[in-house]
Structure 1
């Protein structure tokens, strides 16, 4: 009656030994702390080469565990299922497994994952099942109070994106985190994300230096917050210019003016401001202090750098308004010439061919007719229709046709992401800039996240570079692999085994790039598979991209993202991006972690008593 089930389980158990033999050298190379996890990872990879769905249904039919939760200890779970079948057949189950051995194996796997997670990510807050990582905004360098507020709300880790700012500002952010650690009395590890090879659009030429002071309107059109101008004195370093006081509504437009004109201002003064659209606007001074002057108006104003403004027949020119970044309007059917020329381009006239640079020449060289090219997180999709003749003087270039774009068009600007699904290009994961950032991180941070790892060689380079950096700094620094490409997903067992040569490792699931690379529908499965594979390896996971994004940006969560945040609890850490309401997002995610920890352990649902159904 059970022979079909026993033979299938015996076959799967028999596959484990050959899999271990093939990977024996890889397992021996890992750090001792990962040795058992590496063996279990190899077993799990062997298991997942089988399609188990029908077997799981039939095991459930006879009351045997359908291998849910087997990731903690793969062989022990298989043997426990085999022992249960033996008992049903009237045989001695102890030939295959016993309860104590199975429980010890599962507990050991669970404990190893918890130990590795705490070493890399710090301890979770009491009563929580996971941690909250928060991306620090650039303003955190100037505002230690902002960092302290995030820590008080529940930030467990701070993330610094090395693609932005510079070492001086990173140091200021780090000082703020260390001060917040002391204030809240717990460790807050710092993760520094290396920028990685930038597959992005080239620069679009800057436009005129014009800034906008904007009112805030209610849905009916009435003004609920005025437009604001913040005046500071000219002649000081812009980096050290005083910041405007906190206000509601849209941020003030910051300008610099003659110090004598500024010193003469008093509350109630009316300032005449010519609008770049040949209109005139009036702003009334509402506050004056040593830092600057704040003025408010009830109409939007476009102000050009160098504009002559007037107050009681005293005139001065406004300075410090930067050039406006221009963008290109893209429509379905447009042609794009993608080149390796990184000189700034001017937006073309409507209907003309768009010219764009690509930051990685190897990608342009590798593209062929029919390849898909996606821009700006996949919102613009194009197809290669022509390539340059090899050896031509203007090569390399490719001509694209836009095949999908939002109705009415979409803006595309400088430094926007480019994805080429399925294209494998031999470019190193660590750039020279990354190596400099890594050395900085080894002296100041607790873990380093490596972007766009694709191959085993990429991970080996990262492990070796980190080992060299920490040997100089004398500090222990963890390594986080960002899985964000189809190639990395396919190579995940290899990447993990290579990374396990380092003692503190983790994986970040970058759902944004994965969705673009593999299709948005893949997000229903791929992150879950990565999490399960890492659980088998006893390697902690950080889930990233758009978690509670609406809440962080607008202060109001969508129902779908609350459910998404609940599912994210299966990872050891969840990353939030910056936003004006990120503190509220931290509190919400922390509460979800507290609640979900009582009813879910990784992929295993826990059935607590439901009071409502008494």
Structure 2
């Protein structure tokens, strides 16, 4: 092996860090003091992972030196140490530039634990994975269920404000508060902002082209079925328009947010029902969009099902009027807030401005990465998020899988973990963890494997089900076993597109 070539390649990376340190300093001054070191390290990680370092890492592993990919949390120290060891093999002595502010392996772990403790209001001396459980409506009448969940390992109770109402939520909160005093154990409250809900409002079919349309509870579908997306004020369904001719060979799908039809373009993909139904936009005209179903794993399409538009740039607000109305309630009652539909750094600033208006600088903010745009803008989102303490990231794997493709979700969830590890920002692992067990009482082998992988995160979220207590106990046992073995993932990959885009965005702002 040519140690000289390896030394040269490491020197290039090292010099790349040094030459961009002024930008790292500028970024550090823009964030909360608590995240100064973390912001610098994240930027250095983007510099590193925008390169293809597979060959370098392979050569380092051959000579027993820790690979660069395993040091996401302490980039400068890791590269410096690798370069120093390679120079020693080449008979040279060398010392890194010690004037640069940097953290090492232990410091990186300590920062992540501190940030997780701050976000989840814990006081652990070492890394422990929290469990979050979505509260079923049953807990309004059954306080014992909350007790069982807390004793099984739940530390955070989740209220999804997309469902229910304030009366229901207050009953749940009252029982949580009562139980906290009874057990003398903490139970943090997490609340999701609903965000824009892109759903099917109604489905209409025509019997006679000269008569009003009929609203139906479901539509039988198959590959090749044609649909017409329409707005709620479509001329086809307005009362009194019984003389307007409408097509009989195509079902009309009324959408909850009419703006999406204005943003759609021919050839773009449209998914219904968590990706089970896949369609393409064939044409756009007269405030409607014609679709052809290309693939379906369901025989029926029903009102209320979600719509995903991964190819479409949506001109929708991240904070809806409903979100803004709910913020005072969340601010007064929650320990953590989940920010749905965040897409870019400007969305982060908008939420922070609203929280400032409420005078709430203490609530934890969790940024839900649930669409393609949010993932591609994750570095910029993290840098802007670091303007406040108590922040975290949720990997909303269900929506992400639909948006990015199910074959990519494993890769993408790892990239999110790496970026957050580089920023020492805690991660919440979400969507269908032990889902079959929570619903049916028996976990699949794939679910247990997934739960094992979730130990890489600082928190894991479970959804409700009849056997949620058993699922919580099982997850807790898995996490206890895995925490003794692992920290974060240590895989090595090619250059990351998300790192390249993140660098481009951050250089626009700070160069």
Task: Indicate the TM-score class for this superposition, using the shorter chain for normalisation.
Answer: 0.7 to 0.9
Bigger relative contact order, structure 1 or 2, given CA contacts below 8 A and separation 6+? 2
Report the counterpart of residue 49 of structure 1 in structure 2: 50
Deviation at 1:105, TM superposition (A): 1.9
CA change 1:355–1:18 in 2 (3 A) is farther
Report the counterpart of residue 298 of structure 1 in structure 2: none
Structure 2 residue corresponding to 1:591, chosen from 456, 460, 477: 477
| Aligned residue runs from structure 1 range 18-33, under 5 A | 18-22=19-23, 24-33=25-34
Deviation at 1:24, TM superposition (A): 4.4
Report the counterpart of residue 36 of structure 2 in structure 1: 35
CA change 1:127–1:51 in 2 (3 A) is closer
SS where residue 383 of structure 1 aligns? strand
Deviation at 1:97, TM superposition (A): 8.3
Structure 1 residue corresponding to 2:340, chosen from 451, 455, 469: 451
Structure 2 residue corresponding to 1:533, chosen from 412, 419, 423: 419
Report the counterpart of residue 262 of structure 1 in structure 2: none
CA change 1:24–1:416 in 2 (3 A) is farther
Structure 1 residue corresponding to 2:380, chosen from 485, 491, 494: 494
Pairing 1:327–2:218 present: yes
1:202–1:342 CA contact under 8 A, matched in 2 = no
Deviation at 1:586, TM superposition (A): 0.4
CA change 1:20–1:490 in 2 (3 A) is farther
Deviation at 1:377, TM superposition (A): 0.7
Pairing 1:58–2:59 present: yes
SS where residue 448 of structure 1 aligns? strand
Deviation at 1:183, TM superposition (A): 3.0
Report the counterpart of residue 182 of structure 2 in structure 1: 183
Report the counterpart of residue 376 of structure 1 in structure 2: 273
CA change 1:106–1:127 in 2 (3 A) is closer
Structure 2 residue corresponding to 1:431, chosen from 320, 329, 340: 320
Q: Which runs of 5+ in 1 are unaligned?
A: 206-323, 346-350, 389-394, 606-614
SS where residue 601 of structure 1 aligns? coil
Report the counterpart of residue 81 of structure 1 in structure 2: 82
Number of aligned positions between the proteins? 469
CA offsets 1:363-414 (integer angstroms, 9 cap, x no match): 21121211110001110000111110xxxxxx311000001013xx522222
Distance in 2 between residues matched to 1:41 and 1:475, nearest whole Å? 24
Superposition TM-score, scaled by structure 2 size: 0.87
Deviation at 1:360, TM superposition (A): 2.2
Distance in 2 between residues matched to 1:403 and 1:538, nearest whole Å? 42
Q: Which runs of 5+ in 2 are unaligned?
A: 205-214, 238-247, 492-511
CA offsets 1:68-95 (integer angstroms, 9 cap, x no match): 43112110011111111012112225x1
CA offsets 1:553-596 (integer angstroms, 9 cap, x no match): 11000001101110110000000011111111100010011000
2:113–2:126 CA contact under 8 A, matched in 1 = no
Pairing 1:566–2:448 present: no
Report the counterpart of residue 483 of structure 1 in structure 2: 369
CA offsets 1:485-531 (integer angstroms, 9 cap, x no match): 11111111100011111111000000001000000011121011101
| Aligned residue runs from structure 1 range 181-260, under 5 A | 181-204=180-203
Distance in 2 between residues matched to 1:381 and 1:183, nearest whole Å? 50
Structure 1 or 2: larger helix share? 2
CA offsets 1:285-321 (integer angstroms, 9 cap, x no match): xxxxxxxxxxxxxxxxxxxxxxxxxxxxxxxxxxxxx
CA offsets 1:110-159 (integer angstroms, 9 cap, x no match): 11110110111233889983011000112222322221221121111111
Pairing 1:398–2:289 present: yes
SS where residue 71 of structure 1 aligns? coil
Distance in 2 between residues matched to 1:2 and 1:384, nearest whole Å? 55
Superposition TM-score, scaled by structure 1 size: 0.73
Distance in 1 between residues matched to 2:92 and 2:258, nearest whole Å? 66
Structure 1 or 2: larger strand share? 1
2:272–2:308 CA contact under 8 A, matched in 1 = yes
Distance in 1 between residues matched to 2:203 and 2:160, nearest whole Å? 23
Distance in 2 between residues matched to 1:485 and 1:198, nearest whole Å? 13
Deviation at 1:204, TM superposition (A): 4.6
Distance in 1 between residues matched to 2:419 and 2:195, nearest whole Å? 24
SS where residue 59 of structure 2 aligns? helix
Distance in 2 between residues matched to 1:539 and 1:115, nearest whole Å? 10
Report the counterpart of residue 440 of structure 1 in structure 2: 329
**Structure index of larger Rg:** 1
Query: Which range moved further: 164-173 or 15-24?
Result: 15-24
Aligned-residue Cα RMSD (Å) equals 2.5
Distance in 1 between residues matched to 2:281 and 2:269, nearest whole Å? 7
SS where residue 195 of structure 1 aligns? coil
Deviation at 1:475, TM superposition (A): 6.8
